[in-house]
């Protein structure tokens, strides 16, 4: 391994835990110590969470050694570089490594956006240079992108694929184009979230809440950018824009502005969000960033009317009743009303089976639900929610 930043230390940990002996190289002795400390801290978290046995942690740490000399890498079978996304820096490194390593060794780059072929041609073994792109955090994320160039040897590609599988990762193969697979799909999407924020279309909190609670994603888009690092995000987007010249890849101006202020995300304790300390995932409360509501707003709502009897209308009625509201669901026929009542009861029954609610809570929820075919039954409702078919005339 070359470089023990966030990605380098993560990849070192993955390899050592998979049983490989790992030598990592850093610039100074202090950097070596800092890299080792990051690895130990990460493994300690794994032990604390019950995901790694203490004996396995100790064994993995025993397989790792650090150095400041490239000469200590000369017996390695695979060398993975994880230095910053600067092409000239990577090219210089590959020339140095090529002069040291045995002919059979594979040189891999963890670049997320730069052309692999530009590094491969700096060596005397371009056919054995490959992209091996891990995702952050490397010990957790299961994917590795294998990036082949126009000169990649099929044997080298297969060896790299077998290596990735031995690490417990799922390898996917792609061509040498900026962004590869995942980032080419992901970053225009993240970029659009920033554009929505800077245009005032929605607040930071609402953009992220829409993706977490509306689309079921584990974190919001802006929070994800903070995790990735805004400097890395800018470099990836800029590389894709330079190659494809499509405006969807042009970095949103707000990303550059935050970079200029050194607000790079979690690693500097501030990005789109502020964090308790550098590297911490815990957001520091800095006040309400959504829309302010007057005190007591919404407190008068007690009875909710739902118009419709399809999947969405039934779901809205169920959620409202579970929250303790009286619900009147109006369907267009007696049969549809009965079907809605039965479907909601079935859905609640599944929650009981999964241990997410008790039978008493189910009975209390159904007691709050009333179905009808009469529009007049909605006249006493404090809030009406329309959930009928997407036809404007209706």
d(CA 192, CA 219): 16
- Give the confidence band of 247 by pLDDT, cuts at 50, 70, 90: very high
Catalytic annotation on 314?
Answer: no
Single out the residue of 96, 119, 34, 27 nearest to residue 67, CA to CA.
27
> Does 223 share its domain with 245?
yes
**Do 191 and 244 reside in the same domain of the chain?**
yes
Catalytic one of 81, 85, 133, 314: 133
Please give the tally of structural domains in the chain: 3
pLDDT score of 112 more than 70: yes
Cβ atoms within 10 Å, residue 202: 16
The pLDDT value recorded for residue 18 is 96
Q: What is the CATH classification number for the domain harbouring 196? A: 1.10.1040.10
- Structural domain of residue 42, as residue ranges? 6-175
Determine, yes or no, domain membership for 214: yes
Establish whether 380 is a catalytic residue.
no
Averaged pLDDT of the chain: 92
Same domain? For 34 and 157 the reply is yes
CATH number where 363 lies = 3.40.50.720
In a domain, 286, yes or no: no
**Domain presence at residue 288:** no
How confident is residue 288, by pLDDT bands cut at 50, 70 and 90?
very low
Q: What is the DSSP letter of 191?
A: H
| Span 290-298, average pLDDT | 51
Q: What is the pLDDT of residue 163?
A: 97
In 5-95, the DSSP E strands lie at 22-25, 64-67, 78-81
- In this structure, are 212 and 315 located in the same domain? no
In this structure, the answer to whether residues 157 and 257 fall within a common structural domain is no
Is residue 37, in this structure, part of any structural domain at all?
yes
Same domain, 67 and 134: yes
Is 198 among the catalytic positions?
no
Is residue 65 within 8 A of residue 33, CB to CB? The reply is no
Same-domain check for residues 43 and 154: yes
User: Which of the following is catalytic: 2, 9, 112, 309?
Assistant: 112
183 is catalytic: yes
Based on the domain organization, do 219 and 72 belong to the same domain? no
Residue (of 307, 319, 305) closest to 389 by Cα position: 307
* Confidence band of 287 (pLDDT split at 50, 70, 90): very low
pLDDT in tens, 302-333: 999 999 999 999 999 999 999 999 999 999 99
Say yes or no: 170 and 192 in one domain: no
Tens digits of residue pLDDT in 330-374: 999 999 999 999 999 999 999 999 999 999 999 999 999 999 999
- Whether residue 391 lies inside any domain: the answer is no
Task: State mean pLDDT over 82-89.
Answer: 89
Q: Are residues 53 and 69 in the same domain?
A: yes
Question: Of 117, 140, 175, which marks where a domain is finished?
Answer: 175
Residue 283 lies in a domain: no
Residue 48, pLDDT > 50, answer: yes
Exactly one of 13, 26, 145, 235 is catalytic; name it: 145
Is 202 a domain residue? yes
Catalytic residue, from 161, 183, 232, 340: name it. 183
Q: What's the DSSP call for residue 374?
A: -
Q: Which two tokens stand for residue 38?
A: 């990051």
Proportion of the chain above pLDDT 70, given as a percent: 96
Judgement on whether residues 164 and 201 belong to the same structural domain of the protein: no
On the 0-12 / 13-18 / 19+ scale of CB atoms within 10 A, 72 is middle
190 shares its domain with 143:
no
User: Would 239 be classed as within a structural domain?
Assistant: yes
3-class state of residue 292 by DSSP = coil
């Amino acid at each position: 391994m070359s470089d023990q930043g966030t990605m380098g230390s993560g990849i070192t940990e993955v390899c050592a835990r998979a049983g490989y002996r790992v030598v990592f190289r850093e610039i100074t002795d202090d950097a070596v110590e800092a890299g080792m400390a990051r690895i130990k801290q990460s493994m300690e978290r794994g032990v604390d969470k019950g995901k790694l046995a203490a004996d396995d942690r100790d064994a993995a740490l025993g397989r790792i050694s650090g150095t400041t000399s490239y000469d200590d890498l000369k017996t390695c079978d695979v060398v993975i570089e994880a230095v910053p996304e600067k092409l000239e820096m990577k090219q210089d490194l590959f020339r140095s490594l090529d002069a040291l390593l045995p002919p059979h060794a594979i040189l891999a780059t963890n670049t997320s956006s730069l052309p692999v072929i530009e590094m491969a041609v700096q060596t005397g073994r371009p056919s054995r240079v490959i992209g091996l792109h891990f995702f952050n955090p490397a010990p957790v994320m299961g994917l590795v992108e294998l990036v082949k160039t126009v000169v990649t040897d099929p044997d080298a590609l297969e060896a790299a694929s077998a290596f990735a599988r031995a690490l417990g990762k799922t390898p996917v193969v792609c061509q040498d184009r900026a962004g590869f697979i995942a980032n080419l799909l992901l970053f225009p999407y993240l970029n659009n979230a920033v554009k929505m924020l800077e245009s005032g279309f929605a607040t930071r909190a609402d953009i992220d809440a829409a993706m977490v609670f509306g689309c079921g994603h584990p974190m919001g888009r802006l929070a994800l950018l903070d995790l990735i690092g805004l400097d890395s995000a800018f470099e990836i987007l800029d590389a894709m824009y330079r190659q494809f010249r499509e405006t969807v890849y042009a970095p949103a101006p707000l990303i550059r502005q935050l970079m200029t202020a050194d607000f790079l995300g979690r690693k500097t304790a501030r990005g789109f969000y502020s964090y308790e300390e550098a590297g911490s995932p815990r957001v520091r409360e800095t006040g309400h960033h959504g829309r302010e509501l007057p005190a007591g707003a919404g407190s008068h709502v007690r009875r909710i009317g739902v118009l419709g009897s399809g999947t969405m209308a039934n779901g809205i009625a169920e959620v409202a009743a579970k929250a303790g509201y009286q619900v009147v669901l109006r369907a267009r026929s007696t049969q549809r009303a009965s079907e809605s009542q039965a479907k909601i009861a079935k859905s609640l029954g599944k929650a009981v089976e999964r241990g997410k609610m008790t039978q008493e809570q189910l009975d209390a929820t159904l007691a709050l639900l009333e179905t009808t075919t009469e529009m007049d039954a909605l006249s006493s409702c404090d809030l009406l929610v329309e959930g009928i078919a997407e036809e404007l005339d209706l």
